[in-house]
């Protein structure tokens, strides 16, 4: 396969057109077109897991894309000249326009996650039956008559079904569809509704919540939506939300209501966008950290926030969707991912499931970067995990000009160019208003590279700056008594306090965050008797990890010093794991099995943690 080289920096815009509907997504360079579509809920046909062997993920590319040997086997010369390629083999290293044909087949398997293939076997099953009407000679009960006709399943009815069964059978002339979820017969519907079966996968994040509506009959995403968690007014991280419940007994109910409102809004949104009747959504899979899960369920989170950090249960029970405020089928079930510990929760278990941490024989490092950073290392036989307190810097918190990744946020920084000494990539291509997490990492990495920040993280003196970087030296200034670097001036004569700047304190915040993370993965590697160079792949998970520059992460020491192509932006793997649990009962069992396979390592009781942390502070 021909690969386009890239240095791991910057972003590319991919504009997808599906049946005249257009959607543009922004991804790191080197991501395949297939993965970029998958992360964003854009369905491209595939059954091989993105390995180029099924030859189904056909798209037309408007832009530069090399022709692979698999493309030659798939397309005619005229089609190749017209830009037809296999999406899983196109690495996006520049902006591309992509035409996606509508799905014309019903795939036997659904590809989800990063390089994972799932054999379609959802918990939601529908069976259409045409029953003989009762007679004096055949006085079987309505339920027996229905169950006798479903010979491959042995479902147990609930009261909802028994109440509906007599009326629905007779109004539908005994031609009905039985709806089964796991072993429960949850409904009987008039006529043949076997093609209408849906489920919703939810990544319940502390900051952002993402919901994906899935057609479980085909395994394909129908609609995806995201929004800020409505618990935000109670604090930006789990500790502040736990503290809120400790200070005010009524806060727990309000936090639970906020979670319910968030989930209900997203469920309504994806059903509306997908043109799906909410009553045809029969199951929800929810992946969240231990605190978010506890708050959504109304469980007191205080024990999670104080030593010895104890969960109420590692595996919350399944429950009705209505108990979480979701307006779906009356008997729709919610399954929740298990947690490994108070700070390595169900979202990380879902991520491990999606990335196959228990299946790959390579030495792999999985990092979900956020306020609380979860880290997992596998050597192919053993898996260890931990959590590191990174703080809010990666989400723009505690940063002088920090902001969330929204329009106006600087997300890419390049310094020292011949034409422009400061090149900025801004979300929305508008006037810069602040600095988001990926921009913060880029800025510090670039300042280290050009020499304006020394290894200790201090800005160099003015005379040194003029000598080593004359085109940038005038951007070093003061706001009050604090040294800053000016990234953007709204006007040529703007004062530093009116500019978007990176302060010395901002650099320190990032240093502390990256030191906590690198100490975490260093200690986990030592736990397995490994060194940094033994790592064969790094997976950067979560929203921030998806848009983090691999080159910048390596330069500041956030990840081991490896070639950037070994560092993979894994996307929303928590959401991908939730999808897998809905599409395959086997994968769902695999998630629960991870509780026995993964060893949790507590860093807070390590006597050498502080010394190791200090060692990791330098750039």
Residue 499 to residue 487: CA distance in whole angstroms? 8
pLDDT in tens, 92-125: 888 999 998 865 322 222 223 354 678 899 999 9
SS3 state at 548: coil
Q: Which residues on adjacent β-strands are paired with residue 598?
A: 383
Residue 304 to residue 312: CA distance in whole angstroms? 9
Which pLDDT does position 487 carry in this prediction? 97
The pLDDT of residue 54 is above 70 = no
Helices (H) and strands (E) in the chain, counts: 18, 29
Q: Cα 199–200–206 angle (5° rounding)?
A: 160
**Length of the chain in terms of residues written:** 619
Instruction: Decide if 602 is inside a domain.
Output: yes
Instruction: Decide if 505 is inside a domain.
Output: no
Whose structure tokens read 């200070």? 247
**Is residue 406 located within the same domain as residue 386?**
no
| Region 439-460 average pLDDT | 96
Contact 59, 87 (CB under 8 A): yes
What ranges make up the beta strands (E) of 289-402? Answer: 319-320, 333-336, 364-368, 372-378, 383-389
Torsion (CA) 219, 223, 227, 230 in degrees, nearest 10 = -70
Task: Give the ranges where 275-386 is alpha helix by DSSP (H).
Answer: 290-297, 302-305, 346-355
Residue 48, classified by CB atoms within 10 Å of its CB into exposed (0-12), middle (13-18) or buried (19+), is middle
pLDDT in tens, 267-276: 999 999 999 9
| Region 1-10 average pLDDT | 52
Instruction: Decide if 355 is inside a domain.
Output: no
Comparing 606 with 550, the larger pLDDT belongs to 550
| High-pLDDT (> 70) share of the chain, % | 93
Least confident of 186-190, 224-228, 375-379, 427-431: 224-228
The whole domain housing 134 covers 124-190
Which pLDDT does position 499 carry in this prediction? 96
The pLDDT of residue 222 is above 80 = yes
Q: Which residues contact 506 (CB under 8 A, 6 or more apart)?
A: 393, 399, 400, 401, 402, 435, 440
Which pLDDT does position 151 carry in this prediction? 86
The pLDDT of residue 7 is above 80 = no
Residue 311 to residue 289: CA distance in whole angstroms? 11
Which pLDDT does position 48 carry in this prediction? 44
Residue 611, classified by CB atoms within 10 Å of its CB into exposed (0-12), middle (13-18) or buried (19+), is exposed
Instruction: Decide if 144 is inside a domain.
Output: yes
Grade residue 591 by pLDDT with cuts at 50, 70 and 90: very high
- Name the pairing type of β-strands 84-86 and 58-62: antiparallel
Which pLDDT does position 125 carry in this prediction? 97
Which pLDDT does position 307 carry in this prediction? 87
Which pLDDT does position 9 carry in this prediction? 66
First to last CA, the chain: 36
Residue 518 to residue 559: CA distance in whole angstroms? 7
Task: Give the ranges where 298-427 is alpha helix by DSSP (H).
Answer: 302-305, 346-355
SS3 state at 117: strand
Least confident of 61-65, 348-352, 380-384: 61-65
How many other C-beta atoms lie within 10 A of the C-beta of residue 480?
8
Instruction: Decide if 397 is inside a domain.
Output: no
Look up the CATH number of the domain holding residue 294: 3.30.420.480
**Is residue 218 located within the same domain as residue 263?**
yes
The pLDDT of residue 1 is above 80 = no
Grade residue 140 by pLDDT with cuts at 50, 70 and 90: very high
| High-pLDDT (> 90) share of the chain, % | 69
**Is residue 239 located within the same domain as residue 337?**
yes
| Region 228-246 average pLDDT | 86
pLDDT in tens, 283-315: 999 999 999 999 999 999 999 999 889 999 999
Instruction: Decide if 285 is inside a domain.
Output: yes
**Is residue 23 located within the same domain as residue 69?**
yes
Averaged confidence pLDDT in the chain: 89
DSSP tag of 392: G
Residue 245 to residue 67: CA distance in whole angstroms? 58
**Structurally, how many domains does the chain consist of?**
5
Longest dimension (CA), the chain: 103
Residue 206 to residue 289: CA distance in whole angstroms? 8
Instruction: Decide if 2 is inside a domain.
Output: no
Q: Cα 169–173–179 angle (5° rounding)?
A: 45
Residue 35 to residue 56: CA distance in whole angstroms? 14
**Is residue 388 located within the same domain as residue 486?**
no
**Is residue 373 located within the same domain as residue 277?**
no
Q: Is the peptide bond before 423 cis (omega within 30 degrees of 0)?
A: no
Grade residue 404 by pLDDT with cuts at 50, 70 and 90: confident
Grade residue 44 by pLDDT with cuts at 50, 70 and 90: confident
Instruction: Decide if 413 is inside a domain.
Output: yes
Which pLDDT does position 58 carry in this prediction? 87
């Amino acid at each position: 396969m021909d690969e386009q080289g890239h240095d791991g920096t910057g972003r590319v815009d991919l504009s997808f057109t599906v049946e005249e509907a257009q959607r543009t997504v922004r991804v790191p360079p080197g991501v395949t077109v297939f993965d970029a579509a998958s992360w964003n809920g854009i369905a491209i046909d595939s059954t091989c897991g993105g390995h180029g062997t099924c030859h189904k993920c056909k798209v037309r590319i408007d832009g530069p894309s090399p022709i692979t040997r698999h493309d030659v086997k798939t397309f005619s010369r005229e089609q190749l000249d017209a830009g037809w390629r296999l999406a899983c083999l196109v690495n996006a290293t520049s902006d591309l326009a992509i035409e996606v044909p509508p799905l014309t087949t019903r795939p036997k398997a659904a590809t989800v996650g990063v390089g994972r293939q799932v054999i379609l076997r959802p918990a939601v099953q529908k069976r259409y039956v045409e029953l003989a009407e009762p007679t004096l000679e055949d006085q079987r009960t309505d339920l027996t008559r229905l169950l006798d006709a479903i010979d491959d399943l042995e479902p147990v009815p609930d009261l909802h079904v028994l109440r509906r069964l007599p009326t629905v059978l007779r109004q539908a002339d005994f031609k009905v569809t039985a709806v089964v979820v796991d072993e429960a017969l949850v409904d009987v519907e008039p006529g043949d509704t076997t093609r209408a079966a849906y489920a919703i996968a939810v990544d319940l994040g502390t900051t952002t919540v993402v919901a994906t509506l899935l057609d479980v009959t085909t395994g394909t995403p129908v609609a995806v939506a995201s929004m800020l968690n409505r618990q935000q007014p109670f604090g930006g991280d789990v500790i502040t939300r736990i503290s809120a419940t400790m200070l005010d007994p009524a806060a727990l109910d309000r936090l639970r209501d906020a979670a319910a409102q968030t989930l209900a809004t997203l469920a309504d949104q994806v059903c509306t966008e997908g043109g799906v009747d909410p009553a045809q959504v029969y199951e929800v899979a929810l992946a969240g950290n231990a605190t978010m899960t506890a708050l959504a369920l109304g469980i007191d989170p205080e024990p999670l926030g104080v030593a010895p950090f104890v969960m109420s249960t590692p595996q919350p029970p399944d429950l009705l969707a209505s108990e979480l405020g979701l307006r779906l089928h009356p008997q729709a079930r919610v399954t929740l991912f298990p947690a490994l510990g108070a700070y390595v929760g169900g979202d990380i278990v879902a991520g491990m499931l999606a990335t196959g941490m228990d299946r790959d024989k390579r030495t792999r490092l999985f990092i979900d970067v956020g306020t609380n950073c979860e880290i997992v290392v596998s050597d192919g036989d053993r898996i260890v995990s931990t959590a590191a307190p990174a703080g809010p810097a990666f989400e723009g918190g505690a940063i002088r000009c920090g902001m969330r990744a929204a329009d106006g946020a600087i997300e890419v920084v390049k310094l020292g160019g011949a034409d422009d000494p400061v090149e900025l990539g801004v979300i929305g291509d508008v006037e810069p208003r602040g600095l988001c997490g990926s921009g913060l990492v880029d800025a510090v990495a670039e300042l280290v590279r050009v020499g304006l920040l020394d290894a200790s993280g201090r800005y160099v003196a003015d005379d040194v700056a003029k000598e080593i970087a004359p085109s940038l030296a005038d951007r070093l200034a003061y706001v009050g008594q604090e040294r800053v670097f000016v990234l953007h001036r709204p006007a040529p004569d703007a004062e530093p306090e009116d500019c978007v700047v990176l302060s010395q304190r901002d650099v320190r915040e990032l240093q502390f965050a990256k030191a906590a993370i690198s100490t975490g993965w260093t200690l986990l590697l030592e736990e397995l008797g490994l060194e940094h160079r033994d790592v064969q792949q790094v997976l950067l998970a979560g929203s921030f990890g998806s848009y983090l520059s691999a080159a910048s992460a390596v330069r500041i020491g956030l990840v081991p010093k490896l070639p950037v192509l070994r560092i993979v932006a894994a996307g929303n793997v928590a959401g991908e794991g939730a999808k897998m649990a809905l599409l395959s009962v086997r994968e769902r069992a695999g998630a629960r099995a991870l509780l026995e396979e993964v060893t949790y390592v507590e860093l807070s009781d390590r006597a050498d943690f502080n010394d190791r942390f200090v060692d990791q502070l330098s750039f």
